[in-house]
Structures are given as structure tokens and as C-alpha cells.
Amino acid sequence: MSPLNSGRYFIKSAGADKFVGRARVEDRSLNPKRVILRAEDGETPVFELKDQGKTFEIVIGGGSAASINDKVSAVLMPEEPAQQWIIEEVPQSGSNKYLIMDSQKDGGWVLPDDAPETQLVVRPLIATKSLPPQYPPNQVWEIVPVN
């Protein structure tokens, strides 16, 4: 169970130590927008987490986060209910560290490369066979409330 509640949060890649969010400059269409590793431009994107009980709706810039072709995107014009995500704390990775997984736990948010503008993907998560399990830093997210 996640200790997070509904509210506004920053999400940072634990591996790259940079924030993620939508691109600073996007086309004006209502097509889904990429959720990417942001360059350090002085602007920190704010996510809204909406607690749905055991899952969360994750909203960035007015669009609900969804897996489209195994890539994380913000859907501006949803035709169906918003995708639900499980946010699971991984305290063995440090303070405020979490995994973000689809509602079936088939895959989770992964940063495939630490170059700016890299789009987040949804892939099966890997872990060591230890107790507690250890996760690669590109699968771990620091989620902190906006003060």
C-alpha cells in the first residue's frame, strides 16, 4: 500500500536524478503528449495524483498518464476511463522512492536512457532475488509533495 494521498507532487528519476514531465514545447493538437525526462531548465513539472483506493490516476499538464504502445503519454482527450497505476513504496531504495506499475503489475515506468527528452516506457520490472528486492535505479521514482 502506498503512503501517498491525492495531491500535487514532483516526480524525479532516481537513476538520472532529474524530473520527468511533459515537454516544455509541444504541438497544439489534442493528441497524446510524451512524458519525458526533462532537461534542467529551471521549471519543475507538477503531477496530480488522484487516489482511487488501491490505485492512482496520474495527471500531468491536464492529461492522464497512460501507456500507449508501451510508452508513457499524457492523454488529453480520453475516450475511456483514465488508466490506473499502482504506486508502491520501495524504502530499501531510499526516502520517498516508489515503483509506478500498471494496475495488473505487468509492467511499470522505466527510463530507458538518461538523456534529456527521453520518453518513459512501460516494461516488465526486474529485481534481485533478495529480501527486500533491489530494483535498478531507472525503474525507481522519487515522488515528493509540492509544498
Q: Is the dihedral angle over the CA atoms 21, 73, 75, 103 positive or is it negative?
A: negative
How confident is the model at residue 97, as a pLDDT? 98
How confident is the model at residue 2, as a pLDDT? 65
CB-based contact 138:87 (threshold 8 Å):
no
Cell 537513476 sits on residue: 15
pLDDT at 41 over 60: yes
Q: Write out pLDDT tens, residues 85-142.
A: 999 999 999 999 999 999 999 999 999 999 999 999 999 999 999 999 999 999 999 9
Domains and CATH numbers, the chain: 7-145 (2.80.10.50)
CB-based contact 120:36 (threshold 8 Å):
yes
